Amino acid sequence: MRSLFLKIFLFFWIAVLLIGMAIVVTWSLQPEIVFTRWQALMSEALATHAQNAAEIFERQGPAAAANYIQRLNYVGRMQAVLLDEHGQLLIGKKLSDEAARVAAHVVQTGQPEFELKPRLAYNAQLGTGPSGRHYVLVTEMPRAGPFFALRATTSTQVLRWLLAILISGLICYLLTRYLTRPILRLRSATRELAAGNLGARAGGDMEKRRDELGQLVRDFNQMADRIEILLDSERQLIRDISHELRSPLARLNVALGLARQRAGAEAAPQLDRIEREAERLNELIGRLLTLARLEGTGTPPEQLPVSLSELVREVAEDAGFEAESRHCSVQVNAPEDCATVGSPDLLRSAVENVVRNAVRYTAEGSQVQIDLVGVGTDGNRWAAIRVRDHGPGLPESELSNVFRPFYRVANARERETGGTGLGLAISERAIRLHGGTIDAANAPGGGLLVEMRLPASAARK
């Protein structure tokens, strides 16, 4: 029952069936009222037919009157006969005992008679011809009326209920689809927007609707337009700033080289500090350009086979030198030769950023663990790269934010370790660009566990 479509459909359908059942129950609790009204209507109609039959018999003859009664039998699904004022049969078949008794009562009293039996209803009405003579129209019909559905045969009742269910179900289905279709369009567009497709819109004929759902679709599309404009402006700003910073940075490096040649040994510490800061700035600009490039593309620049087991071992070997300075180590566990398809440089950068981040925050003397395993979910094969450190971990509320650009849990610590807040953001964009996912969680026993999943392909031979 998680589907809104199914909920609305069932609620409408049940409502229609309950209304139908309420009507039937109401009739069943008041059968006398129902049959009394039906009796009054039938008596009034048959009195008119009796008068017509009497006039036709005298003016047009027995043959015309017989045709009139035959049509009455066919249309009204009854058995009717015409008697004279003495009770003698003029037109029709011989009466049954019950019909004859009702007719005799009318002949004797001169008053119409209506009698109900379990399955049949008998009616006798007086009609007067142009000559003033009286005639009696006697009818025998099935006991019916508005309550006829409950008196029908079992097969007829089943057929009627099936038709009612099918018709109500079709109407409820069409109504439910009309109500939920814009919501499904919005859901699909929202997923595409969240996946990075800023051009996703809930378009089509949904925008032409004049109800609240149509307004919701139009508001969503306006919001998506605004988000696309803002993000495009942000990306363009990052690209422009990054390129503009490269020129003064290059001039700064030239000036630094000249200053080293002219300055004495006493200025070396200050110049070394300037050089380190310039290198950090150059690295920051490079990461910004990389992030802008990843945000602006929809497909990886290359589609090459990549051995993930080789890739993680190379990354671990490079990160091991940095780990040694902190008396740490990097261990790789890759029993399977998993492979994927994409850009080797981008994938290496994604894994390297996660591993170096783990090396930076793991406790001194501890170990950063890298596991590469193959997993299968929903019939798909994935290669999972899990990187775990033994550091302080993160607050649960911050886990979903670590992949945002420039995000820092603790500014002071980031600056001390030289972090820019862009490494994990680049990893997230690169992994997502390859159709994968990346998640962070606090590992049991302490530390941060980052898992990167990529679509697996056949390993290279």
Last residue of a domain, one of 89, 120, 151: 151
pLDDT score of 146? 41
Q: Give the per-residue pLDDT at 410.
A: 54
Listed residue (322, 340, 339, 319) closest to 331, CA to CA: 319
Is residue 358 very low, low, confident or very high in pLDDT (cuts 50, 70, 90)? very high
Give a yes or no: residue 168 inside a domain. Answer: no
Q: Give the separation between CA 428 and CA 436, rounded to whole angstroms.
A: 9
Closest CA to 172 of 15, 22, 21, 2: 15
pLDDT-derived band of residue 232, with 50, 70 and 90 as boundaries?
Answer: confident
At 292, the amino acid letter reads A
Looking at residue 86, what is its pLDDT?
A: 87
Using one digit for the tens of pLDDT, what is the confidence trace for 376-402?
766 678 999 999 999 888 888 888 788
Question: Strand, helix or coil at 91?
Answer: strand
Please tell me the total count of domains within the chain. Answer: 2
Using pLDDT thresholds of 50, 70 and 90, give the confidence band for residue 93: confident
Rounded to the nearest 5 percent, the helix, strand and coil shares of the chain are 60, 15, 25
> Rounded to two decimals, what is the model's pTM?
0.49
Domain CATH number, residue 357: 3.30.565.10
Mean pLDDT for 183-209 is 78
Residue 212 lies in a domain: no
Task: Confirm whether 255 is domain-assigned.
Answer: no
Q: Which string of DSSP letters, residue by residue, matches 306-356?
A: EEHHHHHHHHHHHHHHHHHTTT-EEEEE--S--EEEE-HHHHHHHHHHHHH
- Please state at what angle helix 344-361 crosses helix 423-433, rounded to 10 degrees: 140
The H-assigned helical ranges of 196-307 are 212-262, 268-296
Kindly state the DSSP code that residue 379 receives in the 8-state scheme.
T
Give the range of the structural domain holding residue 327, as residue numbers without chain letter.
304-455
Look at the block and give the residue holding tokens 């689809």.
177
State pLDDT tens for residues 210-227: 777 778 888 888 888 888
Task: Give the domain-ending residue among 151, 173, 208.
Answer: 151
Q: Distances in Å between the alpha carbon of 455 and those of 317, 341, 447?
A: 24, 8, 26
Look up residue 60 and give its amino acid. Answer: Q
- The per-residue pLDDT of the chain, averaged, comes to 80
Q: Residue 139 maps to which CATH number?
A: 3.30.450.160
Which of 123, 151, 179 delimits the end of a domain? 151
Q: Is 224 within a domain?
A: no
Q: What is the pLDDT of residues 305-339, one digit of tens each?
A: 999 999 999 999 988 888 888 889 999 998 777 88
The verdict on residue 12 lying in a domain is: yes
| 105: annotated active-site residue | no
Residue 218 placed within a domain:
no
Residue 311 counted as domain residue: yes
Mean pLDDT check: name the lowest of 72-76, 81-85, 134-138, 353-357: 72-76
Write the CB contacts of 223 (distance below 8 Å, at least 6 apart in sequence): none
Assess if residue 233 is contained within a domain.
Answer: no
From the candidates 105, 243, 327, 434, give the one annotated as an active-site residue.
Answer: 243
pLDDT category at 31 given cuts 50, 70, 90 is low
Upper half-sphere CA count for residue 344 (Cβ side, 13 Å) = 9
